[in-house]
Chains A and B, each alone.
Chain A
Amino acid sequence: MSVTYLGMPAFPEAAAASTRDPRLRANLTHATHTIRDKRAKAVTELADWGRLRAAGAAVKDRTLRHLDHYLEQLEAAVTDAGGQVHWAADAVEANRIVTRLVRATGETEVVKVKSMATQEIGLNEALAEAGIHAYETDLAELIVQLGDDLPSHILVPAIHRDRAEIRDIFRREMGHWGRPAPEGLSDSPAELAEAARLHLREKFLSAKVGISGANFMVAESGTLVVVESEGNGRMCLTLPETLISVVGIEKVVPTWRDLEVFLQLLPRSSTAERMNPYTSTWTGTTDGDGPRTFHLVLLDNGRTDTLADTVGRQALRCIRCSACLNVCPVYERAGGHAYGSPYPGPIGAILTPQLRGVEGSLEASLPYASSLCGACYEVCPVAIDIPEVLVHLRERVVEGGPVTRGGVRTVLKSAKGHAAERAAMRAAGWVFGHPRALRAGMRLTSRTRRLHPRRLPGPGRAWSDTRDLPAVPAESFRDWWRRTRGTSSGSKQRGDGE
């Protein structure tokens, strides 16, 4: 596996390439619209959705504001339950810890549950360098891995592949990794799923080490939770002797009871189901049931830098449901790969520049990869005000200002005339150069945005600090618009960042 996100071109170049791929566009449009409509129905089934959403946001805010307390509580509870906790400040450290843990088992193959944290740190590549093969076991991840490709959606990573492509990849590649595809494999989804079942079962039944992420970690009990549909998660969490879970520090929630909020919000927001087919919880190790050894690797890798930004901090509430992707007109046109990280779409546009800093040209361009229509905020089950953070980050890109990098406070210089700013402006240009994407966004804006409170009430949120529209980025938009269109439609753009 040679694929990583490093050296990705800035958003406008990558988006331009994907926009030219009609098959990709058709697959994406179909997929996002299908999920979007189903989700809306699943949500209306619950009369208290707005209240669940407010509770979800509040639980996450509380946790983030006292993250040190909850992490220490979690560590103590996991240790008491027979697990071992490791802390990794960055990707290199996390990869080193996991590699060491796998080596200690003497194994050279591991099975993996789909996990964005491990994609973020490039774990598979790091393990490969150490001579360890990591097998992705989620069907979509398998398609991506066999295709030597990158995931393009949080929930359906192979959304950019159609069934004929999947059949070709299976026929061509399965044999190199293990059990080959059955003779005469057709492109019917049932046959493809069966081929994956047979191929992966070989791995599951002999695997000694499993690697997972987690959707939630409960501080008071030390419980980890994985939510999935296929059963590959259950396989990886149950059959191996050793389980290693790599989890971002923001995934902690204080109490067992808090799961009642998230286990209602997550399935309906992501797959539009009342409940996903499987949810597994584990608390350390259990005698005679499941792995005998359990390691939890707590991952920072830019999360504490994000935490230090009082406007951007809310991005750490994200429960990775992918609802914001499916309503985003820019994501729909550009595809997931253009965002250059495991986190695509609106959440990627605010998370990636915060985790990595806005100094690179891709990172600088991402806050501009949006029409600021607000649809992402409307659907977000934990009420992350993505447009607010986008505008805040645009200001950072253009004007500079205080940031925290690698735990150190520093002041970013203004990027005027720099490559970063040029990349950013080109991204804005790309968005505005696709009037259909923009129109779709504006329609949503006018229809629904004003009906919802823009922000949740709650102590500690200094609204006055963030309410004023940073003038510079908005000006840049209008300047750009006038320059390239020769008309003054700047007034329409007030939605930008108020």
Chain B
Amino acid sequence: MRGFNHLPLILLFLLLFALLPFLPLGVWRAFLLDVGFFVLLFTALALSWDLVARTGQLSLAHGAFFGLGAYGAGLLAPQVGTLPALLLGALVAGAGALTLGSVTLRLHGLYFAIASLAFSEVLRTLALKLPFTGGPIGLPVPPPFAGTWPLAAYYLSFGVLLLATALSLWAEASPFRLAQAATRQSETVARVLGVRVVWVKLWSLLLGSWVAGLAGGVYGMKTLFLSPYDAFSLGRAVEALVIPIFGGLYTTLGPLVGGAVLVSLEQALRLWIKEGYLVVYGAILILVILFLPRGLVGILGRRRG
């Protein structure tokens, strides 16, 4: 079945991260679990961006969905508990996606990108001004399950990635992939072929926003604090798109490999090079983008879809 070509590798990846807390990592265990947490979280965010990118839409709103989920979950967690808060946060992000999509999805390429960026700015401004968000001072967030389970944040992050992977695999293996690919390659032709282009784009955006919202919710519970500039940062949106480009666009394995390599690489470089590590990090990014236009996954064979 299409999309499942790399299934053994994907399952191996997930298995490795599922078992990470139980591996004999010695003194590095806690550090690697922290790094693992952010690998899982940003990889999930990247997969959610890739889901939208498969329709040809360059979304810069993933920072906004991430922030909506983070604030939604952060505000609701003290009242309703961890899991309901995360789910409601994802729904808030979904509502944001519907709002954005209904207004802007008829725009193409860069126009949509600019509109999605403006959407992020509007939400950041709202988070700064609204009375219940904590404004510019920020919002304290309780840890998951009131801190009773040390591995809670890690496995919540793993759960978000699992969901993102499942959605991505489904999108790759189902006819939905064809609709996405047709929309990406030529909307006009896709319409002639009977593809409901706006519907495909809206669903992709909605699925992506749910995952991004969940990722944001878990992020807030790990960092215990949210501020508008952090939660709605353009940096998150850029991270979400760099990882799939680095790993391989329009695939499930690409963002998984890209996330694991990029996030770990950045952490490792910061340990080895105290100052100016970003120069090396940037150079590696540029080299990969220049010489591996299909990303790291391109090495494994011809790109599909």
Do A and B pair up? The answer is no
Interface residues of B (CB under 8 A from A): none
A→B interface (CB under 8 Å): none
